[in-house]
Structure 1
Amino acid sequence: MKKRIIFYNRTGFTTLLNREIHRFMKVPVQTVLAPLISNMLYLAIFGGMLQTRQVGIDGVNYLHFLVPGLASMGAIFAAFQNPAFSIISQKFQNTIQDLNSYPISNAEKILAFVFGGVFRGVLVGLLTYAATIFFVGYEIEYPVFFVLSLTATSFVFASLGLICGLIFDNFEKMNFVLAIVITPLAYLGGVFFEISKLPGLLAAIKYINPIYPLVNVARFAFIGVYEGNIQVQIIITVVLILGSFLSASYIFKKGIGIKTV
């Protein structure tokens, strides 16, 4: 019986991954600088208005509370958009079927798209942190864990971006998901304030909001404090990584959005 190999064409995998990275690096103003400026505006507006506000978590300064949330949000949007818009662009160019002829395994194709999104997400997240050093300093409680948390967040949303890119056939539907689904979840996911401060049903959204544990884990890595049970949230993060990637793999291998009818 022939043994299945995930990486049987490393050159082809690297080529596809490089294409996904170079695709967004060709327009850095739109793909990297724009979200970075947006995050800095959030920092200026919320930080300027609420910098004297005491966070209800061990008396943490609000600016220190805000930075990991902004870094995570930047990673979420950047990681999601990269594979999603890459796939939809190929549909518009009528080249999406070419994926079937690439001499690499399905796993290599999937990982190339996801890793491209991860690279962009982590890049935006780290640049957001770097841009805030002047305001909050450079100290991070657990630096390696912080990078890993941004990587995990980017991996989850790059996988979700791949799923949406395969399912949807135009940019309007993709922008609808970004504006109506992901953006509200981010705002209610603890980016700008503690979820415990939300009233009634809004506070209960954290139990069904996948962004909440991701942001909370990043905040724990950044300042060493958190809301809720951090062990449970780390487990949820692992489940989200596996669930999103396996779902993307299943949809991709079924040929949804790729194979012609």
Structure 2
Amino acid sequence: MPDRPAYLRIADTLRDQIRAGTYPQGSRLPTMTELCASHGVSEIVVRQAIALLRGEGLIETRRGGGTIVKVSPPARRVAMDRYRAVTRPLAVPATTFTHDQRIGWSDYRLDRRYTRTNADAELASLFELPTGVELLRRRFVFFARGEPQQISVNYLPWDVVGDTPVADPEREPWPGGTLAQLEYLGHPPTRVEEAVRSRMPTPEEADTLHISSGVPVLAITRRMISLARVMEVCREIVIPADRVVLDYSIDL
């Protein structure tokens, strides 16, 4: 077998050193000149190695600051029982997001945009309703301590929410979130379903959530069901994959 290309070997070495702590998070990698000299290669080869590691989300290049090992905060562990946590009587305002982030109400901010729309074929299937049925579309950007952490686009049947406080964006954030809103409307959720997939973020998502190059997102499609009726479809909840661990448990 031929030798691996030089840029791959250099990337392997730097990756191992980052993971071993030789270059800890926030530290600066050797300069381009130093890497060329230590590995005996041209600048083009080193640039290829650096581009590969940047694409993996391990490093970032700052103008005038060199190449830095990316600082990744510890991933939050998110369990399905968080939905139960906010349906119990609450001493202080909270939502599933504030519960996940372990933040108080004053550290929580929610940017929102509301529109009326009609269900496409996929939404109609998720709602188990005819195509074209009228829906309220709500796009949220969730902030914790001033930093954007999550995007959510959810839909509610207009015949249920129209002309109610739930359709008023000025009422957000609503303590208890969508769970509490559906209970207010007389349709308390009795079941929550989630389907999770991974993908690369769109340019708009990467810009909104400050996602580093090479980092994928978790895209979660959610349905909230009250008895036999689907009351909410979230298409999708978008979270940077390096910021969360989804925990699932099954009682047998």
TM score, norm. by length of structure 2:
0.22
TM score, norm. by length of structure 1:
0.21
Larger radius of gyration: 2
Q: Which has the higher strand share?
A: 2
| Higher RCO by CA contacts (8 Å cutoff, separation 6 or greater) | 1
Q: Which has the higher helix share?
A: 1
